[in-house]
Structure 1
């Protein structure tokens, strides 16, 4: 029995903190609506409406060499996004057919302010060549536009299209931290089938099973012996 108790105590010590992290993460992730985590409540939706009538005749004849054409909004204006067969993209003024220059920092700030629904002010605009971990799925370069609201919101603006690709805030950062603890992926924070979480989950199962074993030997079996002894004594009388 001593061996089983020691084993159970050591297993409990090893996985106790992780169980606490799982519970804490579950509370956080269920308490914060995912729309707020993704910043949708701070981002003004906009449509990208355009018409073939806006496209110059000379430019229309040149569209065949592109794989895909779509309308997007850029500085509150409908422009054309052309996607090539080599996965390249160009953004075109539909009336002239001219390629649009990359947004400046002040233009990226204007894009962010026009779409921002919060009460903060812009405090920093940076063109990033290295993408931070919180926006790791984006490709450089990208503008970060930071606001001084209570959750430190950051808009990530694509400099060619003017699209707001990602919204990050302290709500997302807290959520992401507990998500990392929850799935035990401390690097990429994406793989919830990683070996570590599997090992700890199996260990937690063993912990539970040994708990039932200890429950039997510490409580149920002694109580059974007492009952049997009492029954024998009554029969002896």
Structure 2
């Protein structure tokens, strides 16, 4: 058993060793950094939106008819740009309508996006660069156009702002990007970072199992041998090595 356990442990460890190291490092990073810090929750300013007005707000049916949308979901929201209807159609697409005018809100200009991002930010940083994305970057997990406002804090925080409502819909930072890197290493999905059922990961996990089992066997054999030697020394009175 010793010979076979040693051979299996040695050669399989050569195959999966780097990935096991990645798993351990990833686990350390993901447990050492609080998830609230990763999500940038400590940079979210605490404020209350204005109450929805009792008058002057149209119903969702009127707003939907104005845009020519057949919604399956409708939510009236108080945003930094006033009350808005968010209508979701059967294809899952969201349509925003100004609940006072019935029109689709004009996209925020850069200066207003910067201002509204700063209002929703809490911390020592100040807004610096403002960038427009016609299609949301992959790291946001969103679709459609977005403004990105960067802050000069230690974490290089970025707020992604909806050009329609002025809300921060996604928060990213260097801490989040480090976490995301180790998450992708952890699940071996470097393209999307969300598939942890693919064959490569399953195969490496399966190969790692005998490495762990044979490691435990070798440890047990070594401990049993050391225990026998210790007992023999005590019987003979020989000094410990």
| Same fold, TM-score > 0.5, yes or no | yes
In the superposition, the TM-score normalised over structure 2's length comes to: 0.77
SS in 2 for 1:54: coil
Match of 1:189 in 2: 193
Match of 1:101 in 2: 106
Preserved contact between residue 70 and residue 82 of structure 1 (Cα < 8 Å):
yes
| 1:124 partnered with 2:129 | yes
Match of 1:25 in 2: 26
**Structure 1 unmatched runs, 5+:** 228-237
Alignment partners' CA distance in 2, 1:25 and 1:153:
22
- Deviation, structure 1 residue 132: 2.9
| 1:156 partnered with 2:163 | no
Distance 1:101 1:30, change over 3 A: same
Distance 1:222 1:30, change over 3 A: closer
**Structure 2 unmatched runs, 5+:** 232-241
- Deviation, structure 1 residue 174: 1.1
Distance 1:205 1:77, change over 3 A: same
Match of 2:239 in 1: none
- Deviation, structure 1 residue 35: 1.3
Distance 1:147 1:5, change over 3 A: same
Moved more, 188-197 or 167-176: 188-197
- Deviation, structure 1 residue 38: 0.8
Q: 1:133 aligns with which of 138, 146, 149?
A: 138
Q: 2:210 aligns with which of 202, 206, 210?
A: 206
SS in 2 for 1:72: strand
Paired residues in the alignment total 226
Q: RMSD of the alignment, in Å?
A: 3.3
Alignment partners' CA distance in 2, 1:183 and 1:61:
45
Pair member with larger Rg? 1
In the superposition, the TM-score normalised over structure 1's length comes to: 0.78
- Deviation, structure 1 residue 126: 1.0
Match of 1:235 in 2: none
Alignment partners' CA distance in 2, 1:94 and 1:209:
63
- Deviation, structure 1 residue 175: 0.9
Alignment partners' CA distance in 2, 1:61 and 1:10:
67
SS in 1 for 2:55: helix
Alignment of 1:1-237 (within 5 A): 5-45=6-46, 46-47=48-49, 49-55=51-57, 62-63=62-63, 65=65, 67=71, 68-75=73-80, 77-84=82-89, 89-135=94-140, 137-212=141-216, 214=218
Distance 1:14 1:87, change over 3 A: closer
SS in 2 for 1:53: coil
Preserved contact between residue 48 and residue 71 of structure 1 (Cα < 8 Å):
no
